[in-house]
Structure 1
Amino acid sequence: MTAIVIVQPDGSWPAQYDKTAETIHQILGGTAVRIDHIGSTSVPRLPAKDILDIQATVATEPELDEAAQLLAAANWEVRPPRRDHPVPGLPQDESQWVKRIVVEPMYRRRVNLHIRVEGRANQRYALLFRDYLRAHPDTATAYGEFKRRAAMLPFDSVGGYADLKDPVCDLVYLPAEEWAARTGWTA
């Protein structure tokens, strides 16, 4: 069984992100269009696994592998190519959900680096999800409580925990799209 550990929010997560993003920027240079702090550690007061989720955005699909190769040359660990789960009501085309996952070099601060293509559904999802939770602290609190309870369940892998969270995240994301349209939010 895999233990999922959700910790209390750490006020230093933003500074840890800044330092890590600078390192990623030095490695990727112009290959990355932008680098963003995403996931639960990017939302103030939200409990999370103590792993920074960072999104590096590239302009084209071939640059997914280029960015992963640059990071591998800097001793980051490249995971097998993956895709995010398609969200109901969003494009189901496979290309909208492709990504690369890279994790930190050994003995460094834990990081899951998601490399996604600019303008694709999964790239927007990560940013809108984060911003919606930042703007709606009660929703973030409810999501945090779900994560705590889910982490107490037995899982064979971290992937099982993620699979359980996906539809809950979608339940947050769908009203986030309405909020984005109403407020004029842009990534």
Structure 2
Amino acid sequence: MPTSHEITSFSDAPAPPGETPWVAGYETREGDIEIAEPDPSWPASYERVAEIVRSALGARVLQLEHVGSTSVPGLPAKPIIDVDLIVADPADEAGWLPPLRDVGFIHTVREPWWQEHRCLKLPDPQANLHVWGPSAAEPWKHRIFRDHLRRDEADRLLYAAVKRASAADANSRGETVMQYNARKQAVIREIYTRAFSAAGLPV
């Protein structure tokens, strides 16, 4: 388990020199960023993704969580299900990656320098599967943020507003999803501060 300091800290360090997070030429695509109104079917879509992952990996699934905006009732979101998967060792790709590829996942991101993070995409239902190890702090952040937004209406409304404004600005400038995320960062970290404090973590 990560320390409290690791959970509440953020890193903006870029990829190491000469490294790229993109797998096999996969890279961010420009295009309109869709922010959909809250959809009550998103939890069911997560359950479909979870069943696909569990059927493929069996006991290798140490933990699976629906995270991101589609996991928060009443919150607008990009209509893509975000899922955190904990495996024993993300670096041991031979142990967990082939079964996921066999059921339709596409490996898009490999970031061993950032908590051994990997990301895969599933076309149907549309999902991002984030793969982490047991000591990674990021999944803890995601769950704390999710649970805070489920409880706190004011921060949920604040986040909804910044998502819509950031998407509109990014779309008008033809920006990527990463640039859209950067537009939200200050407000996200402001909300994280309140979420950490509510959870009893030092901030």
TM-score over 0.5 for the alignment?
Answer: yes
Distance (whole Å) between structure 2 residues aligned to residue 132 and residue 101 of structure 1: 24
Name the SS of the counterpart of 2:164 in structure 1: helix
Pairing 1:121–2:137 present: yes
- Partner of 2:148 in structure 1? 132
- Partner of 1:91 in structure 2? none
Indicate the structure (1 or 2) with the bigger Cα radius of gyration.
Answer: 2
- Partner of 2:59 in structure 1? 30
Q: Would the alpha carbon gap of residues 98 and 163 (structure 1) be closer, same or farther in structure 2, given more than 3 Å must change?
A: farther
* TM-score (norm. length: structure 2): 0.76
How many pairs were matched up? 169
Across the aligned residues of Structure 1 and Structure 2, the Cα RMSD in angstroms comes to 1.9
Amino acid at match of 1:151: A
- Partner of 2:183 in structure 1? 164
* TM-score (norm. length: structure 1): 0.82
Q: Would the alpha carbon gap of residues 132 and 150 (structure 1) be closer, same or farther in structure 2, given more than 3 Å must change?
A: same
Distance (whole Å) between structure 1 residues aligned to residue 144 and residue 97 of structure 2: 24
Structure 1 unmatched ranges of 5 or more: 84-93, 183-187
Distance (whole Å) between structure 1 residues aligned to residue 93 and residue 139 of structure 2: 12
Q: Would the alpha carbon gap of residues 127 and 2 (structure 1) be closer, same or farther in structure 2, given more than 3 Å must change?
A: same
Moved over 4 A (4+): none
- Kept in 1, the 8 Å contact 2:62–2:86? The answer is yes
How big is the shift at 1:169? Answer: 1.8
- Kept in 2, the 8 Å contact 1:64–1:100? The answer is no
Identity percentage over the alignment?
30
Amino acid at match of 2:144: L
Distance (whole Å) between structure 1 residues aligned to residue 135 and residue 193 of structure 2: 18
Q: List per-residue Cα deviations over 1:35-89 (Å, max 9, x = no partner).
A: 1100000001000011111111123343466333321232310013037xxxxxx
Distance (whole Å) between structure 1 residues aligned to residue 157 and residue 35 of structure 2: 13
Q: List per-residue Cα deviations over 1:124-148 (Å, max 9, x = no partner).
A: 1111111111111220111011000
Pairing 1:73–2:91 present: no
- Kept in 2, the 8 Å contact 1:32–1:67? The answer is no
Q: Would the alpha carbon gap of residues 65 and 99 (structure 1) be closer, same or farther in structure 2, given more than 3 Å must change?
A: farther
How big is the shift at 1:165? Answer: 2.4
Distance (whole Å) between structure 2 residues aligned to residue 8 and residue 21 of structure 1: 23
Q: Would the alpha carbon gap of residues 133 and 117 (structure 1) be closer, same or farther in structure 2, given more than 3 Å must change?
A: same
- Correspondence for 1:49 among 78, 89, 96: 78
Name the SS of the counterpart of 2:73 in structure 1: coil
Distance (whole Å) between structure 2 residues aligned to residue 104 and residue 61 of structure 1: 18
Distance (whole Å) between structure 1 residues aligned to residue 185 and residue 164 of structure 2: 15
